[in-house]
Structure 1
Amino acid sequence: MAIVIVCVKCFGRKRYTKYQLDAIKEDMERNKNYPMVLVQIPMFNEKEVYKLSIGAVCGLSWPSDRLIVQVLDDSTNEVLRAMVELECRKWMEKGVNVKYETRNNRNGYKAGALKDGLKKYYVVDCEFVTIFDADFQPEPDFLWRTIPYMLENPELALVQARWKFVNADECLMTRLQEMSLDYHFSVEQEVGSSTCSFFGFNGTAGVWRIRALNDAGGWKDRTTVEDMDLAVRASLRGWKFLFVGDLWVSVENYYFNLV
């Protein structure tokens, strides 16, 4: 890993830089050939961040008729559920295609919610699915900086972005966590991607090709690491992954989610 990352840093030749994103984007805009994209936001009692995440996803700069925002709310607090639904309706009134989905159980937890979300009738026309946990806030151009990779290479199952903690300097704990995650992305993910080898899905801030996801058997609730489980199965089926190291998605440090 050390040898690979030194070569990547010295020569500046990262795998994702070989793609001509601007040309692909121009071709899509010229031919009006935009794929249908589903964005899933799984959440559970996310009182502090639900407005930020829903607002950020609804602000994605993708043709509105080719985008579906699916809020998968497993909250047990009925008052909070009503608040989240109200927020979704607010964006619906602005013309965003938002689907508010709830369940009467929490079977499979996050994996179960994502799996159930993909079974909805309106997902049948979607080619790609993007996942953002409720504390993630993507920039408006996120889809423009990920979907073109998929269109250029039909063997790609996953495009993974990296995370950027918005509160990394809050205390020593958050700073140490940021250092750990930076190593994970800058070394482990970068090396795996650069050598066309396996690397794990981080569970959020990534885009999946739905055909590849289904080919791998879909989401399984047999494990608490459903993201890695899916990535392993997709890799064994021959699908490829791509890590885009210059694409950051803002997130609140997990330290505060645990205290």
Structure 2
Amino acid sequence: MFFLFTLYRAAEHQRPKQLLVNVPLRPAINPRSIALVWVYLCASITAIALCLVSQSGHANPLPPNPVTIKVTEQVVEKDPNIAIKAAIPDDPEKGGPAALRANWPITPARIDAISPFVKEQIDTEFGTSTHELPTSNNSGSRALMVGLQWLGAVIAIFLLIYTFRHILFTLNRLFGKQRHPYSDIDVANWPSVTVLIAAHNEEAVISGSIRALLEVDFPADKLDIVPVNDRSTDRTREIIDKFVALYPNRIHPFHRIDGKPGKAAALKDATVTVTSDIIVVFDADYIPSKGLIKQLVSAFFDPEVGAVMGRVVPLNVGTNLLTRLLDLERSAGYQVDQQARMNLHLVPQYGGTVGGVRMRALHSIGGWHDDVLAEDTDLTFRLLLRSWKTVYQNRCECYEEVPESWPVRYKQIKRWAKGHNQALFRHSAALLRDRSLPTVERLDGLLLLGVYMMSPIVIIGWLIGILAFYFGDTPLAIGLLSIVAFTSYCTLGNFAAFFEIAAAVHLDYNHRRIRLLPFNLIGFIVSLVGISEATLDQLLTDHLLHRRFHWDKTVRYRKES
């Protein structure tokens, strides 16, 4: 926490005040904040290296070169809990002072570690047979523990990679050159655009979205509004039809009464009727700003762009603690994470709503896949593998409802985890094989695909660290437990690393929100458990029982207007 607040205050002190939160100013780099970042990274890498080196340096727990071995009478009884007293001579050149004499309880690992020379001394002096002690199982236990410790070290390294990624994005967003290549386009020969509003039982919110779209700053003759009524059983169709009666030339509904459930399936059916060059997708609870359509569509003047994504801002942020924490998460995810990937020419993600897709690009990859839970992640990587760019427009703000209760949030995060992991299983191998993409782009794509898998990996790392701490014989266990605990806390905090949250609060110039930062530990734990449960369910239950994915609709809270 000290590091976060230091970085935040250092950047705030250097950065001049601004009226527009996204103006790409470049403050002077504060050496103190940069030094803290590198101290953190170097300390983490050094700790891992020292722990790995200690594995070989402490393999034998007995003192080196013991001169005499005195064994209690329990040796004759072959008791595995015998105590060996190592008598160290006073001569420093032969082993050290007598103060180092100690009793060494025999553990399974230490029995196996007794050198043949020591065993021979015991057998000769006491007429015993040390090789009859149960060493075979001890050897296996020690090998298992060493294997677990090395696995834990690998997990710690992965967590450190994600930590470095978050720090890199934060520093780039605070001090790097910002890319907004399409933000200045305001007057142009605009292409035809179809707006698809995905709606399943959305009677409480659909009217607000349609009204806002009717008022956007875009040529009306080139904007077709298509509410996609997906098998709704409430008054959604009735509300849509009322708008159609008022604006028959601007609103053309698509009423879907059967077919596969899910947003991807509904979009697939509705897209068949589209004749425009560009489609823009909204969920029914989203309210676009007046200039949003122009800002999104302007990116498609670049012929290499296949998809574009805008920024999502919570509308009900002041409801309770959860909505405030989700506001911090959204700020970090878009203001820092997405924009940094845009700055660094990496892989910004199409988010499924507040985003546009070029029809030619969509047709080139085979359209929407209706058997996925996260059609946005699936589309992002299918476009990437066909050399289409996805870009992020940070100034395209749209307003959404976020969950107001923890059970709703828990279900939402589980659905996201399953959908994202599904994209990981489908596209990671192809991404690794595709040599046409730059190496850094492929690496960032793999890290983006694997982000939801890190939660169960964190839990596995914790368990390994605890086992190693209580049952291991080497100092690797202590260092490993500390590294896994601290790097996981700093890396995966509520899906927006705490570094990024602090930077996003600064960039948005809503500084009072920084006081909520410690409460993100609650969201971190909830997300950690929910994602791990969803991943385990997906890998075991869904796979073994061949269950179909189930779409859990997010609860709406606004009253019908």
1:61 and 1:140 in contact (8 A); partners too? yes
CA distance in 1, matches of 2:334, 2:183: 23
1:129 and 1:208 in contact (8 A); partners too? yes
1:250 aligns with 2:414: no
SS in 2 for 1:164: strand
CA distance in 2, matches of 1:253, 1:85: 27
1:127 aligns with 2:290: no
User: Counterpart of 1:35?
Assistant: 191
CA deviation digits over 1:199-249, x for unaligned, max 9? 322110011111112212211111111111111101111111111112211
How much identity, in percent, do the aligned residues show?
A: 26
| Residue 230 (structure 1) aligned to one of 349, 374, 379 | 379
CA distance in 1, matches of 2:346, 2:364: 19
1:221 aligns with 2:376: no
CA deviation digits over 1:84-121, x for unaligned, max 9? 211232232xxx5211111221414211111111111x
2:231 and 2:256 in contact (8 A); partners too? no
Counterparts of residues 93-104 of structure 1 (less than 5 Å)? 96-104=249-257
Q: Which moved more, 1:180-189 or 1:249-258?
A: 249-258
User: Counterpart of 1:3?
Assistant: 168
User: Counterpart of 1:150?
Assistant: 300
Superposition TM-score, scaled by structure 1 size: 0.87
What is the aligned residue count? 243
Cα 1:83–1:234 change in 2 (3 A) is: same
User: Counterpart of 2:178?
Assistant: 14
Aligned partner of 2:250: which letter? Answer: N
1 or 2, which has the higher helix percentage?
2
* Structure 1 residue 187: Cα displacement: 2.8
User: Counterpart of 2:269?
Assistant: 116
SS in 2 for 1:221: coil
> Structure 1: where are the runs of 5+ without partners?
none
1 or 2, which has the higher strand percentage?
1
Moved runs in structure 1, 4+ residues, more than 6 A? none
Aligned partner of 1:240: which letter? Answer: K
Q: Which moved more, 1:210-219 or 1:44-53?
A: 210-219
CA distance in 2, matches of 1:7, 1:191: 6
Aligned partner of 2:172: which letter? Answer: C
- The answer to which structure, 1 or 2, has the higher relative contact order (CA under 8 A, 6+ apart) is 1
User: Counterpart of 1:161?
Assistant: 310
Cα 1:171–1:79 change in 2 (3 A) is: closer
Aligned partner of 2:179: which letter? Answer: R
CA distance in 1, matches of 2:313, 2:298: 22
SS in 1 for 2:253: strand
CA deviation digits over 1:27-60, x for unaligned, max 9? x2xxxx3210010001011111111011111222
SS in 1 for 2:387: coil
Larger Rg: 2
SS in 2 for 1:115: helix
1:74 aligns with 2:230: yes
2:198 and 2:267 in contact (8 A); partners too? yes
* Structure 1 residue 166: Cα displacement: 1.4
CA distance in 2, matches of 1:182, 1:20: 20
* Structure 1 residue 163: Cα displacement: 0.9
CA distance in 1, matches of 2:232, 2:183: 45
Cα 1:87–1:165 change in 2 (3 A) is: same
Aligned partner of 1:114: which letter? Answer: L
User: Counterpart of 1:107?
Assistant: 260
CA distance in 2, matches of 1:42, 1:50: 9
1:131 and 1:205 in contact (8 A); partners too? yes
Superposition TM-score, scaled by structure 2 size: 0.41
Aligned partner of 1:131: which letter? Answer: V
SS in 2 for 1:42: strand
> Structure 2: where are the runs of 5+ without partners?
1-164, 406-553, 557-561
User: Counterpart of 2:287?
Assistant: 137
User: Counterpart of 2:453?
Assistant: none
1:196 and 1:241 in contact (8 A); partners too? no
